[in-house]
Chains A and B, each alone.
Chain A
Amino acid sequence: MVERLVIVGAGMASGRLLDHLTGEAPDAFDITLFNAEPRGTYDRLMLSPVLAGEKCYAEIVTHDDAWYAKNDVTCRFGEWVHGIDRDRKVVIGEKGEVPYDKLVIATGSTPFIVPLPGHDLPGVIAYRDLEDTEEMMRLGDTPGTRAVVIGGGLLGLEAAAGMAARGVHVTVVHLNGHLMDRQLDCEAAGLLRRALEARGIEVVCSANSKEIIAGDDGRVSALLLEDGRRLHCDLLVMAVGIRPSITLAQAAGIETGRGVIVDDQLLTSDPNIFALGECVEHDGALFGLVAPLFEQAKVLAKTLCGEPAHYVNKEVSTKLKVTGCDLFSAGDFRDGEGRECITYSDAPSAVYKRLVIENDRLIGAVMYGDTNDGAWFFNLIREGADVSAMREMMIFGPAYQDAPPPPPIPAPVLLEAIA
């Protein structure tokens, strides 16, 4: 008998899950897909290129109406889910209930809004979805407009660069002493800052925001910093992080922590309810990057099909999607007892690399300017192999590893050795 599967949320994890299920078990489930946004799955990572004008929305849609039709997925888009009745095994939507045999919660995350005075003013937005993107894009239509982005992390900088590319004067306000402090060390962040400044973006680090000030029209007009600086803006984008969306699960009495708690099969505390994506907490970890989400989708698809599969949390890597700022970060790159660093710095070409080694294993990598070997370093980190034999040449990347290093023998000895 065909099982009834209901999925709440059509983000990227959910989209990938559907890909697996429709590809590997096309007739196993009768699928209903809820999404609060009035559309199906698109590649959210590609919003930044859309914002920067390098792509259009149509190009980043991964699942369109035709796809859902072809795969017999019942779509309930633009419809909020009010609750889950676990006893009756039904999902309660705005437009009616849908019974399930298996339920997948994929509600994703919500941007964190710093509760500053004025945070709810018109013109204060997060950077999460197409609507946010479009609002930023519109700002570029008016010459001379200004924007402030709070948060110099991955998302904030992509937003800043995107708006700057549209002619908006952007100031990035960052709490930490250097940009992208979760992904970059000071040196790489300095190179990044110079690159951003070169494209007209102002960067204010070590900056505490105090208040968002309204203008005469009631819209946002400036950000006031603790030090008294006032940054004028027509739009204020908060990009200081995300929180798992767990309200629905919580309300249904499913076990939650910071996220919806799942085991290695992505099963929640309810034997018929799974959770997936940015809303989950697995082994104490939360998720904000796409790679583990895809891995979760794969494991969940197998589990639903009755195949054994385990989700294991692995190291993640980051790339910044700002054209011209090549940047890569993976693993743990902080200094610490027992940690050793190899650095490569090429000031004239603005290239910087830093590898962090602990117990002869590569545990972190940061690269700026030349990230071609990122995947290779990322693999070394994930494999956790002993790198002591390759240590001297490692930072030069895979192209320099094929042959063993030349013998450390000056000419006279070498000649004698062969003669």
Chain B
Amino acid sequence: MSSPKSNLTSMCAIRSTCPYCGVGCGVLLGPDGQGGLDVRGDQDHPANFGRLCSKGSALGETVSLEGRLLAPQIDGREADWDTALDLVARRFSDTIAEHGPDSVAFYVSGQLLTEDYYVANKLMKGYIGSANIDTNSRLCMASTVAGHKRAFGTDTVPGTYEDLDEADVIVLTGSNLAWCHPVLYQRILATRKKRPDQKLIVIDPRRTASCDLADLHLPLALGSDVALFNGLLAEIDKRGLIYREFAENVSGLDEAIAAAKADDLSVTGLSDDLLTTFYDLWCGSEKVVTIFSQGVNQSSSGTDKVNSITNCHLATGRIGRVGMGPFSVTGQPNAMGGREVGGLANMLACHLDIENAAHRNAVKSFWSAPEMPEHPGLKAVDMFRAVGEGKIKALWILHTNPAVSMPDADRVRDAIAGCDFVVVSDITGATDTARLAHVLLPATAWGEKSGTVTNSDRLISRQRPALPAPGRARADWEQLAEVARRMGFKDGFDYETPAEIFREYAALSGIAGGFGKDFDISGLKDLTDTQYDTLAPTRWPVTDGKAGGRFFADGKFFTPDGKGRMLPVTWKPPVARQEPRYPFRLNTGRIRDQWHTMTRTARSPRLSAHLGEPFLEIHPEDAKAKGIGPTSLVEVKTPNGTAILRAMITDRIARGEVFAPMHWTGENAPAARVDALVAPVTDPVSGQPESKGSVASIAPFEAEWYGFAISQAPVHATSDYWALAKTYAGYRVEMAGKETPEDWVDEARRIFGLPDADVQTMLDPAKGTARIALHQDGALKAALFISRGPVAVMRDYLANLPGEAAPMVLSGKSPADQPDPGPTLCSCFNVGVNTILDAIETRGLMTVDAIGEALQAGTNCGSCRSEIAALIKRAEGKEAAE
């Protein structure tokens, strides 16, 4: 286990980059020589200056080889690499020969390193001759890419993180930065400590954790962002704040303003007072940064939303200068790298355009490519639709889990299951998607891989290996190059190191630079292997004349006429319409301590303790009306699917809306695959799905029994509802079902796989209570607590018992001398709610810092500080009441 407190000597520290969100934090890795890894923030990395969030801090808990895929598999049986690679190459070649290049596809990931991405893109677009390569960044960034291209001519993030330090006003729109990009949020909070006059505005239908310390929260109606920013643009115009001199370099100003004025601001549902306050703040200082993320992107009008934001910054010239600009923050470690390299079906490479013959020919000749597609390939939603229709007959999925994460996930899962030939490269075979593969290829994981990633502010950083590749795992670029060579493309893929690939990529970007594109890192094309290995974080562009910096302050854009573009945009509601059958609007998103489909974060007990169960946020009035209690399970139905989630009744969410995190999968909560609820509706420009605007009905899940289980080993639960989470002692599971097993003791033996263990029981059949513990050699192996209502036991105490002698486990309570720490609040130091409450009440620690000093809670990543503050506030309220 790693600990943020442990001493990592700089002697053994290896600099690398965190594999989670797009902040791109530098980490120092200290291998312990036994497969473990000590992980600390890199003080010298400009993205984080040593800070890490709870997820980054817990990386060391995720590198064990438990559950790792260590050898290739064909149809579930272990195979050698040659057999597996030959099979993949032959099946792809045969399919292409018979059905043409568009009958195959790659679905890749923002988890891939740039070098992996480059090889995949080159193989598909240059050698197979199709553009059917798309990435899961389609689900998170595509609208920003499209919006950037429409406004700037290229997919360019104009500013840098330093702008957050310099801004007077920071707007978060569609971004729960506190949970999804905690290090950037902490950076803002640190600035506000030094400059208390810096204002923070949060625009979000939900009152998220990011609102806790904000100056202003605009709880706009879900999906009404365009109307709000149009209102702002009209106000900018009204107040005479159009920067006329800069507007010389911008086209579409008048049309955009006209459209803005004509739009209906009332759809935001915001009061005039709130709007005025927002306008005053936004207009009151030039130095405004508008940070946006999935709340903007994941929409059928995502591209318009992006442009409604860029419109305001272009109109005021607040772009590319210190402390100002529109700022997209990305959700994956290398979403940006994928965009740069051309990993999207509608891009070519290095921000060059697929439909542009000159671009195409230049790339074709650079690659010596036999074939080049002339049209964009299928974007993610269309790609899987084509898989379902049998048009795509061979599919290679790398490091992503579309059977869970795609909208209409049940259909996507069925489509993959029905595809003729599916290859999955991953670090584990235990994902919903990997279980559907014909060929499984074991890939090296973060901590083992070597290459580069680009973060949200154009900083290229190295991911460096600190651990050996386990078993027969190989890098993704190697797998791709091997298959390419076996398909007969010997010359283009004879790479031996990622450095070689990087140099070729940097050289190609010089061609893009030659076309006047933004993305040009040709200054790095001659890096030696050593220089590549020691490459410090470098912001692009990197050419003879340019190095990093900001874009567009000079009024020069990458459009054909060189002007920035403002677009006339008009609010459109989400595509799915609320109706009596589906009266609720379903919002989805991330939580603080999990990431994507949990294949890595679910391995960490610390991270699994914060919100250990899939849930649905419901407004108290809605819950009351639907008969949903605070511990109920809720059945959520949409036209696309059904899910069962734990009710979280809270006024953080508006009436008529519900919110569910999208992380849980068939591996840990099969009834809670939230993307199975989401309609496969996309933005017409970007092809990005509307993940936050489905319609739903909610009703109590009428369980006949509820259960809670703890176990040292994984649990084979099969009930209607179950959710499994990792603990230090093993696993914990919440369960519920509509049918009661005949014999709970038999059921316990079955789900825990312990047919011969010593058994302890407490049975009250008349009340439907059953408690069963299974022991072996004097140590608790597993226990099951069943009740007709939600189970009342000390979960956090019980979770630590497996593996120990626990004769009184069935009581479900800790002995009096062992206080129950409560649910974990501070994940970094594993401090529970009750521990903090006790410190507040009995030790009188009434500040977050005092708590931190005493318990360490909140002193690492800081993302729980607002929750600690809330506890203190509550205690103060209680005292005042007394």
A301 CA to B767 CA in the complex, in Å? 46
Which one of B158-166, B227-235, B819-827 contacts A?
A: B819-827
Q: Report how many residues on chain A are interfacial, defined by Cβ distance under 8 Å.
A: 35
Q: Residue A415 contacts which of B706, B764, B825 (CB distance < 8 angstroms)?
A: B825
The reply to whether the CB of A251 lies closer than 8 angstroms to some CB of chain B is: no
A166 CA to B816 CA in the complex, in Å? 43
Contacts A343-B763, A400-B813, A408-B793 given; 6 further ones with Cβ under 8 A? A345-B762, A348-B775, A393-B811, A410-B613, A412-B648, A414-B823
Q: Which 9 A-B pairs have the closest CB atoms?
A: A340-B766, A408-B790, A408-B792, A411-B823, A348-B758, A405-B792, A396-B811, A342-B764, A412-B611
The reply to whether B611 and A409 form a contact with Cβ atoms under 8 Å apart is no
A348 CA to B794 CA in the complex, in Å? 24
Partner-B contacts on A (CB < 8 A): 340-349, 357, 391-393, 395-396, 399-400, 402-403, 405-419
A417 CA to B808 CA in the complex, in Å? 29
A346 in contact with B631 given A395-B762, A406-B813, A415-B611 (CB within 8 Å):
no
Which one of B103-111, B339-347, B867-875 contacts A?
A: B867-875
Residue among B648, B650, B764, B790 with most chain A CB within 10 A: B764
Q: Residue B609 contacts which of A344, A411, A418, A419 (CB distance < 8 angstroms)?
A: A411
A322 CA to B764 CA in the complex, in Å? 30
| Complex interface: chain A residues within 8 A of B822 (CB) | 414
A416 CA to B761 CA in the complex, in Å? 33
| Complex interface: chain A residues within 8 A of B649 (CB) | 413, 416
> Could you write out 27 A-B pairs with CB less than 8 Å apart?
A342-B769, A343-B761, A343-B762, A345-B760, A345-B762, A348-B758, A392-B764, A392-B769, A396-B762, A396-B811, A400-B811, A405-B793, A406-B793, A406-B794, A406-B820, A408-B787, A408-B791, A410-B613, A411-B613, A413-B631, A414-B833, A415-B867, A416-B648, A416-B649, A416-B652, A418-B870, A419-B870
The reply to whether B874 and A392 form a contact with Cβ atoms under 8 Å apart is no
Chain B interface residue number, banded: 35 or more
The reply to whether A399 and B816 form a contact with Cβ atoms under 8 Å apart is yes
| Complex interface: chain B residues within 8 A of A402 (CB) | 816
A403 CA to B794 CA in the complex, in Å? 12
A342 CA to B870 CA in the complex, in Å? 42
Q: Residue B766 contacts which of A341, A400, A416 (CB distance < 8 angstroms)?
A: A341
Q: Which residue of B lies closest to A339 (CB)?
A: B766
A409 in contact with B790 given A344-B810, A416-B650, A418-B833 (CB within 8 Å):
yes
Interface of A is mostly: mixed
Nearest-neighbour CB distance to chain B for A413, whole angstroms, equals 5
A417 in contact with B630 given A344-B761, A406-B794 (CB within 8 Å):
yes
Q: Which residue of A lies closest to B773 (CB)?
A: A346
Q: Which residue of A lies closest to B609 (CB)?
A: A411
Q: Residue B807 contacts which of A346, A399, A406, A414 (CB distance < 8 angstroms)?
A: A346
The reply to whether the CB of B646 lies closer than 8 angstroms to some CB of chain A is: yes
The reply to whether B767 and A391 form a contact with Cβ atoms under 8 Å apart is yes
A412 in contact with B615 given A396-B808, A406-B813 (CB within 8 Å):
yes
The reply to whether A413 and B792 form a contact with Cβ atoms under 8 Å apart is no
Q: Residue A341 contacts which of B765, B833, B870, B871 (CB distance < 8 angstroms)?
A: B765
Q: Within B646-665, which residues are at the interface with A (CB < 8 Å)?
A: 646-650, 652
A357 CA to B762 CA in the complex, in Å? 15
Nearest-neighbour CB distance to chain A for B240, whole angstroms, equals 43
A61 CA to B812 CA in the complex, in Å? 46
The reply to whether A410 and B795 form a contact with Cβ atoms under 8 Å apart is yes
A395 CA to B763 CA in the complex, in Å? 10
Q: Within B397-416, which residues are at the interface with A (CB < 8 Å)?
A: none
Q: Within B494-521, which residues are at the interface with A (CB < 8 Å)?
A: none
| Complex interface: chain A residues within 8 A of B867 (CB) | 415, 419
The reply to whether the CB of B610 lies closer than 8 angstroms to some CB of chain A is: yes
| Complex interface: chain B residues within 8 A of A341 (CB) | 764-766
Per-position 1/0 for B735-773, Cβ under 8 A of A: 000000000000000000000001111111111010000
A409 in contact with B610 given A392-B769, A400-B813, A418-B870 (CB within 8 Å):
no
A417 CA to B620 CA in the complex, in Å? 12
A274 CA to B871 CA in the complex, in Å? 70
Nearest-neighbour CB distance to chain B for A396, whole angstroms, equals 4
Q: Within B761-811, which residues are at the interface with A (CB < 8 Å)?
A: 761-767, 769, 775, 787, 789-796, 807-808, 810-811
Q: Within B161-203, which residues are at the interface with A (CB < 8 Å)?
A: none
A347 CA to B756 CA in the complex, in Å? 12
A396 CA to B764 CA in the complex, in Å? 13
A407 in contact with B613 given A396-B811, A419-B870 (CB within 8 Å):
no
A96 CA to B503 CA in the complex, in Å? 127
A412 in contact with B820 given A342-B764, A348-B758 (CB within 8 Å):
no
| Complex interface: chain B residues within 8 A of A347 (CB) | 758-760
The reply to whether A344 and B816 form a contact with Cβ atoms under 8 Å apart is no
The reply to whether B767 and A413 form a contact with Cβ atoms under 8 Å apart is no
| Complex interface: chain A residues within 8 A of B615 (CB) | 412-413
The reply to whether the CB of B690 lies closer than 8 angstroms to some CB of chain A is: no
Nearest-neighbour CB distance to chain A for B815, whole angstroms, equals 8
| Complex interface: chain B residues within 8 A of A357 (CB) | 766
| Complex interface: chain B residues within 8 A of A343 (CB) | 761-764
The reply to whether the CB of B612 lies closer than 8 angstroms to some CB of chain A is: yes
The reply to whether the CB of B116 lies closer than 8 angstroms to some CB of chain A is: no
A413 CA to B825 CA in the complex, in Å? 13
Q: Residue B833 contacts which of A393, A395, A415 (CB distance < 8 angstroms)?
A: A415
| Complex interface: chain B residues within 8 A of A417 (CB) | 630
| Complex interface: chain B residues within 8 A of A342 (CB) | 762-764, 769
The reply to whether the CB of B734 lies closer than 8 angstroms to some CB of chain A is: yes
Nearest-neighbour CB distance to chain A for B694, whole angstroms, equals 21
A406 CA to B795 CA in the complex, in Å? 9
A348 CA to B810 CA in the complex, in Å? 14
Q: Within B817-843, which residues are at the interface with A (CB < 8 Å)?
A: 820, 822-825, 833
Q: Which residue of A lies closest to B874 (CB)?
A: A418
A407 CA to B813 CA in the complex, in Å? 11
Nearest-neighbour CB distance to chain A for B38, whole angstroms, equals 27
A396 in contact with B611 given A345-B761, A391-B764, A412-B646 (CB within 8 Å):
no
A417 CA to B822 CA in the complex, in Å? 13
A40 CA to B621 CA in the complex, in Å? 78
Nearest-neighbour CB distance to chain B for A359, whole angstroms, equals 12
Q: Which residue of A lies closest to B650 (CB)?
A: A416
| Complex interface: chain A residues within 8 A of B789 (CB) | 408
The reply to whether A409 and B870 form a contact with Cβ atoms under 8 Å apart is no
| Complex interface: chain B residues within 8 A of A411 (CB) | 609-613, 795-796, 823-824
A331 CA to B810 CA in the complex, in Å? 25
The reply to whether A392 and B767 form a contact with Cβ atoms under 8 Å apart is yes
A413 CA to B723 CA in the complex, in Å? 14
A346 CA to B867 CA in the complex, in Å? 42
Nearest-neighbour CB distance to chain A for B710, whole angstroms, equals 13
A349 CA to B758 CA in the complex, in Å? 10
Nearest-neighbour CB distance to chain A for B823, whole angstroms, equals 4
The reply to whether B760 and A413 form a contact with Cβ atoms under 8 Å apart is no
A417 CA to B813 CA in the complex, in Å? 21
A164 CA to B630 CA in the complex, in Å? 60
| Complex interface: chain A residues within 8 A of B794 (CB) | 406
Q: Which residue of A lies closest to B771 (CB)?
A: A344
Nearest-neighbour CB distance to chain B for A405, whole angstroms, equals 4
A417 CA to B824 CA in the complex, in Å? 14
Nearest-neighbour CB distance to chain A for B725, whole angstroms, equals 9
Q: Which residue of B lies closest to A394 (CB)?
A: B764
The reply to whether A410 and B764 form a contact with Cβ atoms under 8 Å apart is no
| Complex interface: chain B residues within 8 A of A393 (CB) | 811, 813
Q: Which residue of A lies closest to B815 (CB)?
A: A399
The reply to whether A413 and B820 form a contact with Cβ atoms under 8 Å apart is no
| Complex interface: chain A residues within 8 A of B791 (CB) | 408
A413 in contact with B646 given A349-B807, A418-B871 (CB within 8 Å):
yes
